[in-house]
């Protein structure tokens, strides 16, 4: 590690990973609002689990119309990308929960002969009322029509079709205050005192830090799928350990950065020890998880939820992820396997919450950079805008479609151009519905999601 990297990491550690972001306006109001969420604010436990699909998942090939007329329109628009109608797993909505366009829909089955499972897990959860489909969700500042967008000057998020920008926008849900804080981080700032005896932060990310968890006054805890991350070289090299422990002793640091780094170092070791002890003392889960990376992450989330009382946590926000969704080519060849892994992992995770008796207290939901173009580039789809998403859990009003499904027609009423579908449900509405269920009061929702006031509906209704 060079000197610049060392100083950068030391500063970030000392400031909780968020102190470089200046917060004004709404963040000051948010800070004052925390007084309403003290140690006795919640008597129950709740967790949100964000499942981020990096690369931009093609939701139009994940949730596909099955009705003859709608399927034909879809197949014409998608051309070489159309999933064969016979390879769709039927979705059976509950009474009154059908799609806005009146079509029957299905989930893509696997096209890989080695995988007979496909998305049958999420199909079952939807048909049994434990999963909901959020139609045509995307990053927005305010509702926008095709005419407004094509006329130019419409108030839309910057760099709409850029991976990095839209990954950030999904997780920040633009606060308009220049803070760069994630909406999960802003929730953690608001509800910080509701976890008075917590050993670790409310926000936990698997394998790497998330933008979603960036907070003003707190930090996020990063853990690996196999357990807490440790300073491996430090732990096994005796000379290094002794030297570092000497440097980290209270009162031996003369500079504020040194003291901050020492505090962060001690806290990291203490956290790792506390989490390891809690996990090792817990009996193993009986739920079988499939052998894929996302499932491994979600299994660790389930294990941490199991020891929530030991760690002193009433509210938690988790971030897990999988990549590989940037299908400019090989969409039909590669996406089915990823969707099968997603479905199997989320299904096993839901089953583990049933085993733990917290199915009604844990909600998992998907997110992604953006959707893909309705139009085909030959072997894949390009960067789009709106897409479909899942919310899964016992508190989800499942077996229903929410939001308006788009017209699947190139150059149609929902096509901004080049097959990029204009979203009709915003990330703000999606996230605010989850935050309200999580325990955020209505008066604080605008502080966390400043753009929420631009929409007629503040709650999409998919949570109890």
pLDDT-based confidence at residue 27 (cuts at 50, 70, 90): low
Query: Quick check: is 464 in a domain?
Result: no
Instruction: Please give the pLDDT value at position 21.
Output: 34
pLDDT-based confidence at residue 114 (cuts at 50, 70, 90): low
Instruction: Please give the pLDDT value at position 256.
Output: 80
Instruction: Please give the pLDDT value at position 260.
Output: 77
pLDDT at 187 over 90: yes
pLDDT, tens digit, for every residue of 218-236? Answer: 889 999 999 997 766 566 6
Contact criterion met (CB below 8 Å) for 48 and 318: yes
- What domain range includes position 220? 3-454
Residues in contact with 120: Cβ distance below 8 Å, sequence separation at least 6, in sequence order: 89, 109, 343
pLDDT-based confidence at residue 32 (cuts at 50, 70, 90): confident
Structure-model confidence comparison of residues 441 and 218, the more confident one: 441
For 7, half-sphere exposure in the C-beta direction (CA atoms, 13 angstrom radius) is: 4
Query: Quick check: is 461 in a domain?
Result: no
3-state secondary structure of 160: coil
Residues in contact with 163: Cβ distance below 8 Å, sequence separation at least 6, in sequence order: 55, 56, 326, 369, 383
Instruction: Please give the pLDDT value at position 28.
Output: 65
Query: Quick check: is 222 in a domain?
Result: yes
Instruction: Please give the pLDDT value at position 113.
Output: 60
> Comparing C-alpha atoms, which of 269, 260, 273, 276 is closest to residue 231?
269
pLDDT at 125 over 70: yes
Query: Quick check: is 460 in a domain?
Result: no
Under DSSP, the state recorded for 199 is S
pLDDT at 240 over 80: no
Instruction: Please give the pLDDT value at position 7.
Output: 32
Tokens of 198: 């917590």
Instruction: Please give the pLDDT value at position 255.
Output: 77
Highest averaged pLDDT of the listed ranges 4-13, 21-30, 340-349: 340-349
Instruction: Please give the pLDDT value at position 45.
Output: 98
Residues in contact with 395: Cβ distance below 8 Å, sequence separation at least 6, in sequence order: 360, 361, 363, 437, 463, 464
Worst-scoring range by mean pLDDT, 234-243, 397-406, 417-426?
Answer: 234-243
Instruction: Please give the pLDDT value at position 112.
Output: 63
Structure-model confidence comparison of residues 245 and 448, the more confident one: 448
Worst-scoring range by mean pLDDT, 11-20, 177-186, 294-303, 321-330?
Answer: 11-20
Instruction: Please give the pLDDT value at position 22.
Output: 36
pTM of the predicted structure, to 2 decimals: 0.91
Euclidean distance between the first and the last CA atom of the chain, given in angstroms as a whole number: 49
- Provide the total of helices (H) and of strands (E) in the chain, helices listed first: 14, 13
CA–CA separation, 341 and 142 (whole Å): 34
pLDDT at 425 over 60: yes
Contact criterion met (CB below 8 Å) for 138 and 387: yes
Query: Quick check: is 459 in a domain?
Result: no
Contact criterion met (CB below 8 Å) for 93 and 99: yes
pLDDT-based confidence at residue 15 (cuts at 50, 70, 90): very low
Query: Quick check: is 404 in a domain?
Result: yes
pLDDT, tens digit, for every residue of 339-380? Answer: 999 999 999 999 999 999 999 999 999 999 999 999 999 999
Number of domains in the chain: 1
What average pLDDT does the structure give for the chain?
A: 90
Between helix 26-33 and helix 183-191 the angle, nearest 10°, is 40
pLDDT at 178 over 80: no
Instruction: Please give the pLDDT value at position 166.
Output: 97
pLDDT-based confidence at residue 337 (cuts at 50, 70, 90): very high
Q: For 443-461, give the DSSP string.
A: HHHHHH-GGGGGSS-S--S
Query: Quick check: is 108 in a domain?
Result: yes
Query: Quick check: is 68 in a domain?
Result: yes
pLDDT at 154 over 90: yes
């Amino acid at each position: 590690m060079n000197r610049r990297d060392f100083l950068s990491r030391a500063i970030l550690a000392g400031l909780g990973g968020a102190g470089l972001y200046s917060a004004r306006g709404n963040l000051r109001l948010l800070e004052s609002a925390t007084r309403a969420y003290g140690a006795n604010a919640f008597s129950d436990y709740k967790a949100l689990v964000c499942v981020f699909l990096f690369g931009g998942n093609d939701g139009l090939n994940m949730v596909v119309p099955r009705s003859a007329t709608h399927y034909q329109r879809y197949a014409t628009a998608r051309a070489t990308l159309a999933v064969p109608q016979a390879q769709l797993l039927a979705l059976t909505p509950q009474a009154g929960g059908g799609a806005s366009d009146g079509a029957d829909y299905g989930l893509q089955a696997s096209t890989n002969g080695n995988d007979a499972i496909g998305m049958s897990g999420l199909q079952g959860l939807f048909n049994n009322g434990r999963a909901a489909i959020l139609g045509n969700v995307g990053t927005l500042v305010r509702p926008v029509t095709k005419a407004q967008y094509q006329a130019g000057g419409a108030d839309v998020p910057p760099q709409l079709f850029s991976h990095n920008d839209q990954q950030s926008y999904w997780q920040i849900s633009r606060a308009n205050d220049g803070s760069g804080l994630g909406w999960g981080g802003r929730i953690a700032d608001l509800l910080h005192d509701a976890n008075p005896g917590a050993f670790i932060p409310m926000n936990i990310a698997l394998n790497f830090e998330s933008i979603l968890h960036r907070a003003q006054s707190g930090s996020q805890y990063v853990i690996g799928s196999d357990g807490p991350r440790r300073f491996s070289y430090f732990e096994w090299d005796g000379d290094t350990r002794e030297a570092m422990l000497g440097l980290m002793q209270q009162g031996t640091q003369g500079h504020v950065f040194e003291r901050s780094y020492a505090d962060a170092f001690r806290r990291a070791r203490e956290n790792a020890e506390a989490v390891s002890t809690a996990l090792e003392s817990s009996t193993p889960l009986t739920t079988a998880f499939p052998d894929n990376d996302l499932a491994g992450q979600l299994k660790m989330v389930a294990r941490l939820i199991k020891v929530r009382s030991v760690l002193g946590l009433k509210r938690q926000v988790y971030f897990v992820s999988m990549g590989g969704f940037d299908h400019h080519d090989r969409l039909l060849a590669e996406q089915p396997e990823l969707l099968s892994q997603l479905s199997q992992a989320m299904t096993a995770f839901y089953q583990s919450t049933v085993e733990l008796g917290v199915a009604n207290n844990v909600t998992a939901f998907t997110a992604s950079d953006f959707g893909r173009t309705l139009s085909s580039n030959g072997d894949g789809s390009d960067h789009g805008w709106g897409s479909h998403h899942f919310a899964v859990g016992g508190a989800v009003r499942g077996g229903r479609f929410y939001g308006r499904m788009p017209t699947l027609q190139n150059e149609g009423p929902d096509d901004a151009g080049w097959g990029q579908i204009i979203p009709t449900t915003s990330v703000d509405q999606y996230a605010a519905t989850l935050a309200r269920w999580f325990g955020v009061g209505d008066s604080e929702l605008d502080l966390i999601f400043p753009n929420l006031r631009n929409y007629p509906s503040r709650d999409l209704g998919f949570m109890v």
